[in-house]
């Protein structure tokens, strides 16, 4: 029996699916290779990630800077949420991720859920938040404020969300190359800060009653010039306004 298996992933394909006032939606296909303890390589599966991005202009070229990925965890399985696509999951759960609001320095996404089953259903929405374009990044979690901070040498970003009146449940700062090794059981390990190629990831969680219909809201707030307190004020206004929608 093999004792060690390593998985390496490379970007195989990247597609720009659509562009609108929120930003662009992209599809990335990763090709994994599996190396056994004896050095034998086997071709792995393709994993597709659908992202909501914001684009910043620089010297006449567009550079993606801020990115959110949404993954729904239900009954031990993950579903990549594609913006604009309705998902039918677990024999009765319907989920729909859409852009909700775009202001200067703020992206808000909305995920609608409808439990069409006759019994309660526990769901966990995992939200991955990334700043792209810089190798040097730093992230840390503030449990007191229910936010994740991500910063590079140019800007500060706050990531958070609300699911009815409840905000972040699990959270951590994880190295992106090992992300799915850590998340495979639907749990985020306790890693409150990190540096390098990191992502800030959190969950919004709820047990849906039979026939219950609810919405979760997730966002990134960012600026090159605003202070931390100004960003936190925006975050508080969003939590207050969206808590009971």
CA of residue 31 relative to chain centroid, distance: 20
d(Cα 147, Cα 202) in Å, to the nearest integer?
9
Q: Which domains does the chain have, with CATH numbers?
A: 64-242 (2.70.98.40)
d(Cα 189, Cα 84) in Å, to the nearest integer?
30
Mean pLDDT of 193-220: 97
pLDDT at 18 over 50: no
- H helices present in the chain, as ranges: 179-183, 228-242
Q: What is the pLDDT of residue 147?
A: 98
pLDDT at 183 over 90: yes
| Each residue's pLDDT tens digit, 202-212 | 999 999 999 99
Q: Does residue 59 or residue 191 have the better pLDDT? A: 191
Q: Does residue 43 or residue 154 have the better pLDDT? A: 154
Q: What is the pLDDT of residue 153?
A: 79
What is the SS3 assignment for 170?
A: coil
Q: What is the pLDDT of residue 44?
A: 36
Which of the four pLDDT bands, split at 50, 70 and 90, describes residue 195?
A: very high
Q: What is the pLDDT of residue 56?
A: 53
C-alpha distances (whole Å) from 199 to each of 32, 40, 150 are 20, 31, 8
Strands (DSSP E) along 60-105, which ranges? 61-74, 77-80, 86-89, 93-103
Q: Does residue 220 or residue 24 have the better pLDDT? A: 220
Kind and range of the H or E element at 123?
strand 121-131
Instruction: Give percent of the chain with pLDDT exceeding 90.
Output: 59
Q: What is the pLDDT of residue 136?
A: 75
Q: What is the pLDDT of residue 222?
A: 92
pLDDT at 43 over 50: no
Which of the four pLDDT bands, split at 50, 70 and 90, describes residue 55?
A: low
Q: What is the pLDDT of residue 27?
A: 45
What are the helix and strand counts (H, E) for the chain?
A: 2, 16
Provide the phi-psi class of 183: left if phi over 0, else alpha when psi is between -120 and 50, else beta: alpha
d(Cα 55, Cα 100) in Å, to the nearest integer?
17
């Amino acid at each position: 029996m093999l004792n060690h298996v390593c998985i390496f992933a490379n970007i195989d394909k990247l597609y720009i699916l659509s562009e609108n006032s929120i930003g662009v939606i992209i599809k990335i296909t990763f090709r994994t290779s599996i190396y056994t303890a004896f050095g034998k390589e086997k071709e792995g599966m393709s994993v597709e990630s659908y992202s909501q991005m914001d684009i910043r202009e620089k010297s006449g070229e567009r550079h993606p800077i801020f990115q959110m990925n949404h993954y729904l965890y239900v009954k031990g399985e993950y579903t990549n949420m594609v913006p604009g696509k309705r998902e039918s999951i677990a024999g009765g759960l319907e989920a729909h991720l859409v852009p909700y609001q775009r202001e200067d320095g703020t992206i808000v996404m909305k995920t609608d859920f409808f439990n069409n089953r006759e019994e309660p259903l526990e769901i966990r929405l995992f939200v991955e938040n990334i700043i792209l374009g810089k190798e040097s990044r730093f992230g840390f979690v503030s449990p007191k404020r229910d936010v994740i901070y991500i910063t590079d040498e140019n800007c500060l970003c706050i990531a958070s969300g609300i699911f009815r009146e409840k905000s972040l449940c699990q959270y951590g700062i994880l190295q992106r190359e090992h992300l799915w090794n850590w998340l495979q059981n639907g749990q985020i390990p306790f890693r409150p800060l990190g540096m390098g190629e990191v992502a800030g990831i959190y969950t919004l969680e709820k047990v849906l009653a039979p026939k219950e219909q609810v919405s979760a809201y997730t966002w990134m707030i960012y600026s090159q010039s605003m202070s931390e307190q100004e960003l936190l004020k925006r975050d508080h206004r969003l939590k207050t306004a969206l808590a009971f929608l």
